[in-house]
Every structure is written in C-alpha cells, then in structure tokens.
Structure 1
Amino acid sequence: MSTTTTSTGPTAHTELPRTTASKGALPLVILKRTLGSLFVLWAAVTVAFFVLRLVPGDPVKVILGPNASSPSPATLASIREEFGLNQPLVLQYLDYLTGLLQGDLGTSYVFKVPVLEILGPQILPTLQLAGLAMVFAWAMALAFTLLTVGRSPVLEALGRSVEVLFASVPQFWAGIVLLVIFAVVLGWFPVAGNDGFAALVLPSLALAIPLAGFIAQVTRTSFEEALVQPFVLSARARGLSDWSVRIRHVLRHALLPGLTLSAWAIGSLVSAAVVVEVIFARQGLGRSLVDAITSRDLPITLAVVLIIAAVYIIVNLIVDVLYRVVDPRVQEEPA
C-alpha cells in the first residue's frame, strides 16, 4: 500500500489506501456484508441447482445404481415421488430452498443417507488443510519481503526470482515433489492419510507454495512504496533500527494488498484442495466433490458448492474486519 501526501493550499491530507474494504462503521459494514452474503449464497445455489439439473441424464438411474436392470415403471414412479423428481423443476427448486432454510441439504442419491452425514466429517479436514496452507503462504511471503526488499541488488533479484518460481509451480507438481522427497526418500512425514499434524504439513505446503509467490509479489510492491514515504524517514531519524522500522511501520502498510489476495485465495484453496487430497489420499470436500460429480450425486455436489461459497463469504467478512485492525483509517467515511 502506498501512502502519498498531497497538499492543496494550507492543508494537507493523507490518501486512504486503495483496498476492497467497505467504508464506514464496523457494525454497519457487517450488516451490509451479511445481507450481501445471503444474496451471494442464494445466487450460487440457484445457478448450481439449475445447471446441474439441466445436465443430460436421469437422476433415477443414479439412485437405482449401476446394478439395476430394467426397473418396472412402478419402481421408477415410486423413486421419483420419494425424491421429489416427479414435480416440475421450479417446484423442486423451491423445495430445495425450503430444506436449506431448515438445515436440510438433501439426501444422497448414491448412499441414500442425508448429505450432512457424508460431508460433515469432510469439512474440518479441508478447512484445516486450507488454513495451514494460508499460514505457510504468509510465512514464506513475509520472509521474502522482509529479507530481500530494499536490500542489495543481489538479494532483490533473488527474492523476485524465487517469487516468480513459486507462483509458477502447479500445486499437483509441488505435491508430488514434496511427497517423493520428504515422505518417500527422507521419511520425515507420512506418505498419506489424516493422522495428526505431520500428515497435514506436506499437503499444506503443496497448496501454499504457489500462493506464497503471489502474495509476496503484491506485498513487495507495497513494501517498496512504503519504504520511501516520509514516515519511514522520520522513524529512522528517531534512531529506530532497520528491522524495527520494517516490522513496526513499513510492514503494516504493505499488508493490505496481501489481505485482499488472501480473501480470494481461501476459496481457491478449498477448491484446489481436491488435487492435493487425491495425491495424499486425504479425506476432504475435494474428494467428495469429485466422487459426487463422477457418480452424478447432485445433492452432494450442490452441498459442496454451498459450503465453498459460504467459506469464501465468511473469509471476506473477516478480511474486512482485519483491514480496520491493520489500518484504522479504513473506518473513516470518505469526505
């Protein structure tokens, strides 16, 4: 983030950072964001519902399973009535929305049990994976920024090169390399599974490496701009050490673009977790989504879409609050 001082006449002002944060008092912002979030959730569910329902194929065949052979018309009619498939599409949609308002995500076509019983145990492993990946990504990005920005030309070039390299690495390739080196060859971490923190490290790093490159690139730009601002010169003139200036003053101003990127990245991490969960044979929403799409289990697919949208919205709301912690000027209403 850059903070520029401009003056017109006898008064001067400092421009607010350019961010995606909503201006105004925090309670009002939360209320606006909550109402907007409900609309976004409704839109996501609506689009997903009609797109999936319009895909060619008969859901009854999925419900009957691959071993069913020539079911009678009475059997087909009974199944359609049981799952509400005999109603017009609009009525099916309204029934689905009514169920959502009551906390009912539907019944799986394949497993014949409530969707929550299937996805409930899968939510936490995916959130743990995405959360730890975000922590690793920020740790690496801040290390690149603090150690290389404003240093010697060699360190500057090294930092930029590593950031570009990390941002270019595909997550599946990073996962395979980490698995081979640290699990198979060195044996430091488990090869697969969900057992404990050690099993979470490698898949989280596979997701974090590309994201760290992107966060470091946007943070670097803001950090470079903040280093030449008058408040930095003033801090140095007061005798503060270089590390104190970087961490206490400059870094705070450089975080906002990274926070904006993180809000988008959380949704991306939950979506991208499917690749890592397959490579490391982990439980999670990603594998459940792939299995549901493959078997055309529409209720599970819709539920995963809803969960991912909800996570994205919640993270954006948290980031909006963090903007005010990092830079209180965001709370100010523009003149």
Structure 2
Amino acid sequence: MRTYLLRRLLQAVFVLWAAYTVSFGVLFLLPGDPATIMAAGGGDASTVTPAQTRALRHQYGLDQPLAEQYGTRLLHALHGDLGRSVRNGVPVTRLLSHDLPTTVQLAVCALLLALVLGSAVALLASWTRSGPLRQFLLSLPALGVSAPTFWVGLVLVQLFSFRWHVFPAFGDEGLDSLVLPSVTLALPGAALIAQVLAKSLRTALAEPYVQTALAKGANRRRVLFGHALRNASIAPLTLVGIMIGNLLAGAVVVESVFARAGIGRETAAAVTAQDIPVVQGVVVLGAVTFVLTTLAVDLLLPLLDPRITATRKPTVRT
C-alpha cells in the first residue's frame, strides 16, 4: 500500500505540473494583450496609450521573456502564491476562497442529485418486466448526454421561473435559487451514471452466481440489491472523479446562465480579460480536486471488491 500511495502521489504531482504548464501555454497563445485589456477597463482599447500598456506590462512582469515568466510563476505557485489578478490586483487565493463555497454548494447538490437520478433510472430499468418501459428508461441517458447544458438551463428557467413562477430565475440567495442550477448541472452526470450502471447491472445479472441465487429461491429484489448492485457499482464509482471535473467545467456555463456568483463566473470573466493568474489558479484548483477525488475512489474500490486488493499483492516466491 505504501508503494501504491507513493506512485499515486508522484502521478498527482505530474498531473498538477502538466495542468499548470498547459494552461500557461494556452493562455499566452490567445490573441490580444492582457495589459491593454486591463488598461481599457472594459472600455475601448483604442483609447489606451502605449505608455499605459508598458507600465502595466512591467508592473505584472508581462514584459519578461516567456520562459522567465513561467519559471517565476511556477516557483511562486509551489510556495502557495498564485499571483494577483490583473483586473483588480486582488490575490488569486483570496478570489478563489471567496467564490469557492458557492460553487462547492452547487457542485455537491448536483453530484448528489446526479447519483440519485442516475441510480434510480438504472435500477428501475433493471427491475421492470415491461419491455417498452425498459427501452424508454434506457433511452433517457442518451438524451441527457446530448442536450447542451445552457439549453437545458434556459428551458428550465422559461418553464419553472417565467411561466409557472416556482423557482427564481437568477441569483444565489436561498435554497430555492439552488434548485434549477443543480438540476441543470446534474442532468449530464445523471445520464452518464444511468448508462454505465444499467450496463453493469445487465452484466452482473447474467453472472452464474445470480442465476444460482435465483435457482435457490432468492427473490428479484434481494438479488438485485444484495448481489448485483454491489458488483455493478464499481464502474459508476470510478466515474466520480471525472464527474467532479465536469461539474467544475459545467459551473462556468450554469453560473453564467443563472447569474450566480462563484468560480464559474470568475473563470469566464478571467478568460475574457486574459487574467492569466486567475485562470491558472482555477486550473490548479480543478486539478487538485480531480487528483484527490480519484485517489479517494481508488481507496474505496477495494471495500466493494476485495479482489482489487488481491490483484495488487506481490507474488511470494519460495
């Protein structure tokens, strides 16, 4: 286990370095000049003088060679300093810590909702004896994955806010304002979970031990929930780490559609203004979340299937 944790730790360090490096390179390939955008302050960039641009570039180190900028920023990041926003001069860590609770609240609600909806669809499709109902339930995941997130959000706002006046359309005050964004963000993940879990349940229900349990008189509910579900849940559980990354990416769209404060809106504004420190801070935050989530999932998998641990044990030679 110690060797496994050390290997995963090294992989985590590599993932964080790669995420930081790729984001740094991509942001510098974008057209435009961050100093000019910052000097314009959201107005007409043609009114910005070259002297103003040069002063801002020197102030934020943008006039240094690219390799020197990368080395300096990376060294500071290793000490926990992600720099300051070029838009308002606020430290990136303070911006992220201020916006993170709202996004975490949205992501956790969406993740729980995705798990409940996806599992319910897959279990009902595996439980029912009705062929048409099963086909209908199995067709829902494809629809959920293909529907664009922004379109789903606009449809929900149109129906539940403007037409039926059930939930507020915008803002982030109160639990009722969390319902529509959570549903919008959860649907793609719920569709993915339902698709994978339904396939895993079909495979598990066809195993010999299930047929043996049925032959011994076990009812379908006990076989489904007591035997097949435990083995079938391994594949959906491995998707949790990927889903966390998707939730953070989807928060950019959802928080923009519903005008919610959070990491998503901050990221959209930072990309528009080419605020490199803020964007890199968000990328590092997403990479850390992904690494920690996948590590937790890998440690939980042996609890569901002890064979995973057994396959990692070295062979003892005599």
State the alpha-carbon separation in 2 of the partners of residues 82 and 279 from structure 1.
Answer: 35
Structure 2 CA distance for partners of 1:326 and 1:84, relative to 1, 3 Å: same
TM-score for the superposition, normalised by structure 2: 0.88
From 35, 49, 53, the counterpart of 1:70: 49
Structure 2 CA distance for partners of 1:132 and 1:70, relative to 1, 3 Å: same
Q: Deviations over 1:285-320 (max 9, x none)?
A: 111111111112111111111112222222211221
Structure 2 CA distance for partners of 1:139 and 1:90, relative to 1, 3 Å: same
Deviation at 1:111, TM superposition (A): 0.6
Q: Which amino acid in 1 is paired with 2:59?
A: E
Deviation at 1:223, TM superposition (A): 0.3
Q: Contact conserved, 2:248 with 2:264, CA < 8 A, in 1?
A: yes
Matched, 1:323 2:298: no
Matched, 1:184 2:162: yes
Q: Contact conserved, 2:170 with 2:258, CA < 8 A, in 1?
A: yes
State the alpha-carbon separation in 2 of the partners of residues 63 and 206 from structure 1.
Answer: 33
Deviation at 1:50, TM superposition (A): 2.4
SS in structure 2 of the partner of residue 53 of structure 1: helix
Deviation at 1:45, TM superposition (A): 0.6
Identity of aligned residues (%): 39
Aligned to 2:257: 279
Q: Deviations over 1:54-84 (max 9, x none)?
A: 4343333234334664253xx6555444322
Q: Deviations over 1:200-234 (max 9, x none)?
A: 22111112112222221111111011112222234
From 266, 269, 279, the counterpart of 1:288: 266
Q: Which amino acid in 2 is paired with 1:311?
A: T
Matched, 1:82 2:59: yes
State the alpha-carbon separation in 1 of the partners of residues 202 and 158 from structure 2.
Answer: 37
State the alpha-carbon separation in 1 of the partners of residues 189 and 62 from structure 2.
Answer: 42
Q: Which amino acid in 1 is paired with 2:19?
A: A
SS in structure 1 of the partner of residue 143 of structure 2: helix
Deviation at 1:188, TM superposition (A): 2.7
Aligned to 2:105: 128
Q: Deviations over 1:265-285 (max 9, x none)?
A: 211121111111111111121
Q: Deviations over 1:220-265 (max 9, x none)?
A: 1110111122222343355443222211211111112212233212
Matched, 1:114 2:70: no
Matched, 1:28 2:39: no
Total equivalences in the alignment: 308
Aligned to 2:33: 58
From 155, 158, 164, the counterpart of 2:142: 164
State the alpha-carbon separation in 1 of the partners of residues 299 and 172 from structure 2.
Answer: 32
From 133, 138, 141, the counterpart of 2:118: 141
State the alpha-carbon separation in 2 of the partners of residues 138 and 90 from structure 1.
Answer: 44
State the alpha-carbon separation in 2 of the partners of residues 94 and 168 from structure 1.
Answer: 41
Deviation at 1:190, TM superposition (A): 2.2
Q: Which amino acid in 2 is paired with 1:291?
A: A
From 14, 33, 36, the counterpart of 1:39: 14
State the alpha-carbon separation in 2 of the partners of residues 295 and 241 from structure 1.
Answer: 61
SS in structure 2 of the partner of residue 43 of structure 1: helix
Residues 90-109 of structure 1 correspond to what in structure 2 (within 5 A)?
Answer: 90-109=67-86
State the alpha-carbon separation in 2 of the partners of residues 301 and 242 from structure 1.
Answer: 51
SS in structure 2 of the partner of residue 146 of structure 1: helix
Q: Which amino acid in 2 is paired with 1:101?
A: L
State the alpha-carbon separation in 2 of the partners of residues 226 and 97 from structure 1.
Answer: 47
State the alpha-carbon separation in 2 of the partners of residues 106 and 178 from structure 1.
Answer: 38
Deviation at 1:196, TM superposition (A): 2.9
Q: Contact conserved, 2:205 with 2:228, CA < 8 A, in 1?
A: yes
SS in structure 1 of the partner of residue 170 of structure 2: coil
Q: Deviations over 1:137-168 (max 9, x none)?
A: 11111111221215322232122122332232
State the alpha-carbon separation in 1 of the partners of residues 198 and 5 from structure 2.
Answer: 30
The gaps in structure 2 that reach 5 residues or longer are none
Residues 186-335 of structure 1 correspond to what in structure 2 (within 5 A)?
Answer: 186-237=164-215, 239-333=217-311
Which range is displaced more, 298-307 or 240-249? 240-249
Structure having the larger proportion of residues in helix: 2
State the alpha-carbon separation in 1 of the partners of residues 141 and 31 from structure 2.
Answer: 44
